[in-house]
């Protein structure tokens, strides 16, 4: 203990000085702690892109020779010319050149079972609504067992973010499938969710977005009226991003799954190739705009896998389709070490993605969600 002087006034001022010193130390400690926290999380914005029903098999192995040589590929020669090579490494580079020439060097890829990395949906249904619910709410809710237009009772990450300081009205979703209205519970969440062939109804949109509104009704509705063709969704998302600078953006694409259900392997591969190019443009834009550059995490994933146990199995998915719980995801951003292809022995689940992203932004979604939420995936932020 420090020796105190005998004079009462001196004692008072000495005690006061000690008291002030403690306060200063406390403030200093708080400042250091918050700076350390800020240093740990460089991510200020997040973009999630989902590709419906894109199998991990094509992500990691490229085109499948059995399918290219089957009745499911109409123009075999054209398909071989575009996507065929001897090794899986060459084939996947042809199919998704941006993934394997650029993203793999900057981020992390999960779910290559050939390397022992297992990524899965935790829900037992293995189709779209349950899969998207799991991604955006972190909860593999057994009640979400249909693709019908039921309203999602669970709080989702985007709704949560929209209430956080600095994120208010800086959150948006663009999707091809109209069901995202219910998935994001627009009535309750009040989120900006644009889907199907719905016009983007936002005041002050620029000429490019207005033009997209104008042309989308003229585009052929190949997938019916409830699902917009993906390139329009991509363009809406990208142009909205450029004009309005959302801090959390969701882009949900659909066509890969549609081509698989149709049994058209050539188009399935073509849509994958097209969406790789879109993701390239998106990431290059992110890294060229000072608002986003080196401050934005991009997550790319799918809602479910597909079968692989017979020549027909790739067309379908669901509780009865073996291996359709098997999925993948890729993540790139300022807090994620460049791990390339992961060889994690612990299975990752899509119910962990919401809290993983929330943590990167410095928020605890799990504590606020009011329902089960999977724990964050530690390796996303650790070397
Ligand atoms: Zn499907």
- Interval 269-284: pLDDT, tens: 999 999 999 999 999 9
Centre of ligand 1 to C-alpha 303, Å, is 9
348 SS3 class: strand
Cα of 163 vs centre of ligand 1, distance in Å, is 32
User: Are residues 8 and 50 part of one domain?
Assistant: no
As for how many domains the chain has, the answer is: 2
| 6 Cα to the center of ligand 1, angstroms | 84
31 & 104 share domain: no
pLDDT, one tens digit per residue, over 208-228 is 999 999 999 999 999 999 999
Query: Within this chain, do residues 29 and 76 fall inside the same structural domain, yes or no?
Result: no
Residues 262 and 147 in one domain: yes
- 248: Cβ–Cβ under 8 A, 6 or more apart, which residues? 45, 46, 47, 157, 158, 161, 162, 167, 170, 171, 172, 361
Domain check: are 2 and 123 in the same one? no
For residue 26, what pLDDT is reported? 60
Instruction: Tell me, yes or no, whether 99 and 10 share the same domain.
Output: no
Q: For all residues of the chain together, what is the average pLDDT?
A: 93
Residue 151 has pLDDT above 60, yes or no: yes
Instruction: Kindly give the distance from the C-alpha atom of residue 37 to the centroid of ligand 1, in angstroms, as a whole number.
Output: 41
Distance (Å) from CA 197 to ligand 1 centroid: 20
* 16 and 50 co-located in one domain: no
pLDDT cut 90: percent of the chain above it? 88
pLDDT in tens, 235-263: 999 999 999 999 999 999 999 999 999 99
Q: By C-alpha distance, which of 67, 96, 89 is closest to 80? A: 67
Judgement on whether residues 350 and 251 belong to the same structural domain of the protein: yes
CATH number at residue 320: 3.40.720.10
pLDDT tens digits, one per residue of 321-378: 999 999 999 999 999 999 899 998 899 999 999 999 999 999 999 999 999 999 999 9
Whole-model pTM above 0.85?
yes
- Are 137 and 189 found together in one domain? yes
Looking at the fold, whether 6 and 117 belong to one and the same domain comes out as no
Domain residues for the domain of 132 are: 44-380
Indicate whether 20 and 67 sit together in one domain.
Answer: no
Residue 129 CA to ligand 1 centre (angstroms):
10
Q: How far is the CA of 111 from the centre of ligand 1 (A)?
A: 20
What is the β-pairing status of strands 45-51 and 248-253?
parallel
Residues 49, 32 within the same domain: no
């Amino acid at each position: 203990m420090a020796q105190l002087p005998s004079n009462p006034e001196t004692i008072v001022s000495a005690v006061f000085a000690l008291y002030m010193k403690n306060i200063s130390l406390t403030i200093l400690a708080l400042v250091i702690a918050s700076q350390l926290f800020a240093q740990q999380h460089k991510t200020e914005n997040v973009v999630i892109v989902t590709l419906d029903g894109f199998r991990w098999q094509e992500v990691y192995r490229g085109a499948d020779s059995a399918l290219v040589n089957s009745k499911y590929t109409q123009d075999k020669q054209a398909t071989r010319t575009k996507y065929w090579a001897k090794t899986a490494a060459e084939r996947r580079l042809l199919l998704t050149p941006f993934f394997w020439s650029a993203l793999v060097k900057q981020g992390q890829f999960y779910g290559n079972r050939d390397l022992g990395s297992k990524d899965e949906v935790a829900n037992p249904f293995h189709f779209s609504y349950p899969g998207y619910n799991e991604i955006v709410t972190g909860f593999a809710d057994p009640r979400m067992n249909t693709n019908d237009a039921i309203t999602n009772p669970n709080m989702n990450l985007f709704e949560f973010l929209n209430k956080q300081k600095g994120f208010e009205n800086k959150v948006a979703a663009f999707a091809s499938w109209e069901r995202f209205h219910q998935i994001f519970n627009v009535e309750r969440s009040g989120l900006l969710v644009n889907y199907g062939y719905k016009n983007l109804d936002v005041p002050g949109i620029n000429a490019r977005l207005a033009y997209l509104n104008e042309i989308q009704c003229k585009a052929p509705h190949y997938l019916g009226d409830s699902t917009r063709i993906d390139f329009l969704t991509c363009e809406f998302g990208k142009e909205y991003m450029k004009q309005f600078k959302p801090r959390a953006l969701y882009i949900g694409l659909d066509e890969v799954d549609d081509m698989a259900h149709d049994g058209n392997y050539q188009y399935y591969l073509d849509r994958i190739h097209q969406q790789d190019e879109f993701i390239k443009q998106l990431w290059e834009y992110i890294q060229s705009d000072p608002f986003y550059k080196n401050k934005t995490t991009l997550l790319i994933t799918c809602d479910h896998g597909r079968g692989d146990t017979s020549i027909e199995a790739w067309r379908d998915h669901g509780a009865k389709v073996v291996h359709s719980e098997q999925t993948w995801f890729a993540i790139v951003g300022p807090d994620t070490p460049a791990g390339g292809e992961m060889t994690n022995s612990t299975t990752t689940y899509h119910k962990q993605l919401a809290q993983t992203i929330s943590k990167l932004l410095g928020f605890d979604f799990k504590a606020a969600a009011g329902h089960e939420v999977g724990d964050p995936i530690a390796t996303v932020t650790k070397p």
